[in-house]
């Protein structure tokens, strides 16, 4: 299938980043969120990123004008009726994802692909809720989506090879490196990365070192580009907690038990950068 028009559902951090790279690769993109303020914030952020690119000499004013013309922002999900693929990047909740994907199946044209950007959830379960499980697959981007090169491509049990190949090609065209992963909780990266971040939160909770010391140690001692706790703040502590809880449930293995530090911070509404406070304070 030749993808020409991309729909992105969810204009939060991930959706905005996915829309950005898709536009920059020359695609027409419809970015939709049901909350008008979130759409406005996303478009504002994209315009700022493109203005910065012009200032840095990385893009011309003409290129940026084209980007803006290629992007349509909307709050009406029915605007997806003629897209070739929807990349859904909404809240990480299986019931909501199933409901929304079912709705997408009813709105989109019959041959449209439905991709879901999920951190860990079952693609097969999401696909089974739609009228086209053979055209549903996981397309897992990494935060910040405009920068990180990887896209994990995860077929569900009945996803066709044609759909997988189309999405692998699309990932390359938007400047990403696709890696195919079998369906399994957390796929490749989060299966490894989330327990690592969780252990860092345990070290913090036990008072072994401060957040800054833990992050400094992992950057200088293990060559990480970013410490685990600043990464938790970037990704969202609620998301990391949800992945840990999902692992405990799916694997029935207490080794994935979430750190109490995550629970405490989520209860306080300290979800990381997006709320201004997490392991660090971003308001000061």
Q: Give the residue carrying structure tokens 């709320």.
A: 275
Neighbours of 37 (CB within 10 A): 10
The reply on whether position 147 binds ligand 3HC by CB under 6 A is yes
Answer whether 94's CB lies under 8 Å from 120's CB: no
List the Cα angle 233/237/241 in 5-degree steps: 150
The reply on whether position 16 binds ligand 3HC by CB under 6 A is no
CA distance 184 to 265: 28
Q: Which stretch binds ligand 3HC (CB under 6 A): 139-147, 158-166, 177-185, 199-207?
A: 139-147
Q: Using DSSP, how many helices (H) and how many strands (E) does the chain show?
A: 11, 8
* 68: its two tokens: 């803006």
Residue 72 Cβ, how far from ligand 3HC at the closest point, in Å?
22
- 140 catalytic? Reply is yes
Answer whether 266's CB lies under 8 Å from 258's CB: no
Residue 142 Cβ, how far from ligand 3HC at the closest point, in Å?
4
| Identified catalytic residue from 22, 88, 92, 119 | 119
Q: Which H/E stretch holds residue 197? A: helix 189-205
The reply on whether position 175 binds ligand 3HC by CB under 6 A is no
- 131 catalytic? Reply is no
Which distant-in-sequence residues (6+ apart) come within 8 Å of 226 by Cβ?
A: 215, 219, 234
| Identified catalytic residue from 190, 230, 259, 270 | 190
Residue 11 Cβ, how far from ligand 3HC at the closest point, in Å?
15
The reply on whether position 239 binds ligand 3HC by CB under 6 A is yes
Considering only 34, 43, 107, 148, the residue that binds ligand 3HC (CB under 6 A) is 148
Considering only 47, 63, 74, 143, the residue that binds ligand 3HC (CB under 6 A) is 143
Residue 87 Cβ, how far from ligand 3HC at the closest point, in Å?
14
List active site positions: 119, 140, 152, 190
């Amino acid at each position: 299938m030749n993808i020409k028009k991309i729909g992105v559902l969810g204009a939060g951090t991930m959706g905005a980043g996915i829309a950005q790279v898709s536009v920059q690769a020359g695609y027409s993109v419809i970015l939709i969120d049901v909350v008008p303020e979130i759409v406005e914030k996303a478009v504002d952020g994209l315009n700022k990123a493109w203005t910065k690119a012009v200032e840095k000499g990385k893009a011309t004013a003409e290129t940026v004008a084209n980007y803006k013309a290629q992007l349509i922002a909307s709050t009406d999900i029915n605007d997806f009726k003629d897209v070739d693929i929807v990349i859904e990047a909404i809240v990480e909740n299986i019931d909501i994802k199933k409901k929304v994907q079912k709705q997408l199946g009813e709105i989109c044209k019959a041959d449209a692909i439905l991709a879901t950007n999920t951190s860990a959830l079952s693609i097969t379960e999401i696909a089974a809720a739609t009228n086209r499980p053979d055209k549903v697959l996981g397309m897992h981007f990494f935060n910040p989506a405009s920068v990180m090169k990887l896209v994990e491509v995860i077929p569900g049990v009945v996803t066709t090879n044609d759909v997988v190949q189309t999405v692998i090609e699309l990932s390359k065209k938007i400047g990403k490196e696709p890696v195919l992963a079998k369906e399994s909780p957390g796929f490749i990266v989060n299966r490894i990365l989330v327990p690592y971040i969780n252990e860092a939160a345990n070290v913090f909770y036990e008072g072994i070192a401060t957040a800054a010391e833990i992050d400094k140690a992992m950057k200088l001692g293990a060559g990480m580009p970013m410490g685990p706790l600043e990464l938790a703040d970037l990704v969202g502590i609620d998301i990391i907690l949800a992945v840990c809880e999902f692992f405990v449930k799916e694997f029935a293995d207490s080794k994935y038990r979430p750190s109490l530090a995550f629970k405490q911070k989520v209860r306080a509404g300290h979800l990381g950068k997006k709320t201004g406070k997490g392991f660090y304070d971003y308001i000061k």
